[in-house]
Amino acid sequence: MTRLTAVPQREPRSGGATAAWDVSRVRADFPILSRQVRGRPLVYLDNAATAQKPRAVIEAITRYYETGNANVHRGVHALSQEATEAYERVRGLAAGFLNVMPGEIVFTAGTTAGLNLVAQSYGGSTLRPGDEILVSEMEHHSNLVPWQLVAERTGAVVRSIPVTEAGALDLAAFEALLGPRSRIVAVTHASNVHGAINPINAISAMAHEAGAVVAVDGAQSAPHLRVDLRAIDCDFFVCSGHKVYGPTGIGLLFGRRALLEQMPPWQGGGGMISEVRMDRSSYAPPPERFEAGTPPIAEVVGLGAAIEYVLGWDWEALVAYEQRLVAEAVQRLVRVPGLRILGEGADRVSVLSVALDGIHPHDAGTVLDTHGIAVRAGHHCAQPLMRRFGVPATLRASFGAYNTLEEIDALVEGLLEARRVFA
């Protein structure tokens, strides 16, 4: 039977001291990194928005379309059976990546879709007037607006978990907010703005003691930390394939099996039913219940290739390398006059947001673009956190497995040039 996903390009290391990260070897796997932008070598520092794709992912998607394109499930012909096997195989890969069971993995369109599914299905079916949803002040809008929508529908109340001046979640304030009406705690594992890593284990334990379930936005942690959901002990976890070096349009939702089984469908259509009559329908068990219609098959195949690819990495070496990158960036950025790093006191993944006195982030980002440097400028879909830090927007540099210290130097020089241009 045709194999539609890629094999790992390297064997994982084990035992002994953490090996050095071979960034040159990793860079060679990403074709786009060899291109130029505006006559300069591409310096891609926008990984928190989307990561680039290794050749293994690109080839897996191409191979699917060239040799195995067919719809999944219920097809008796060879191509459909091959596509179905490849599709369900990725569910097993994703479960292994997050250390859960395959039946607890739902394919979604991404982090946003996964959070909306949880909010509308679980929240919409369990929340009652006066129930409380605790949401942190550092959330991406995708982990705030869905809860506001379901609160409006059910009469529940959204309460804010504050962030300290140093950029960390205020655990003492969180503990004080927990009470008999707390039903859902929605927090990010790592901020998409300043990279702050939240202590999800402690948050889960405190929330469970109060009788609340925990929904975690893992969009920024899955690419940078070795996530073990059994250790974290959350109830829901979502992440996006395109940030873990996979395709856009595909994401993962983990839900505890007992919770998924009690949740009603989010969308109706083919593939999610058990039996349909004109006056009523019954529904398939999870995860099929939440995967109505033709799924993004090629994207799932590409995600499988991405998971296999990253599982071939030495993750201890990767985490150490990315921590070195972000630490060096903090040290070297002090050369830029009037630059402020948001949340300097927080433990972080390799994401940094900065504000430049007298220069709008869009202007600074435009100068960087003339040097071939790609960063993100704006409020990063986190306006409450922008208000907490007293800025309308920031310039964000986010580093991945293929970034280098030389690219940090290029970033610093580009910001110095922006300072000269707007002096």
d(CA 289, CA 148): 24
Residues 284, 271: contact at Cβ < 8 Å? yes
Alpha carbon 385 to its chain's center: 18
Both tokens of residue 65? 């379309």
Strands (E), 261-359: 273-276, 281-283, 339-341, 351-356
Contact in structure between 94 and 101 (CB atoms under 8 Å): no
Pairing of strands 394-398, 376-378: antiparallel
Q: Is 175 left (phi over 0), alpha (psi -120 to 50) or beta?
A: alpha
Across 336-391, the runs of DSSP E, i.e. the strands, are 339-341, 351-356, 373-374, 376-378
Q: Which of 381, 391, 412, 416 is catalytic?
A: 381
Helix, strand, coil content of the chain in percent (nearest 5): 40, 20, 40
CA–CA dist 7, 24 (Å, integer)? 20
Q: Round to whole Å and give the CA distance between 294 and 414.
A: 45
How far is the C-alpha of 225 from the C-alpha of 117, rounded, in Å?
A: 24
Tokens for 212?
């609340």
Three-class secondary structure of residue 159 per DSSP? strand
User: How far is C-alpha 48 from the geometric centre of its chain's CA atoms?
Assistant: 8
DSSP type of residue 32: G
Q: What gap in Å lies between CA 65 and CA 117, rounded to an integer? A: 29
The answer to whether 381 is a known catalytic residue is yes
Q: In the 8-state DSSP scheme, what is residue 232?
A: H
In the 8-state DSSP scheme, what is residue 287?
T
* Active site residue ranges: 381
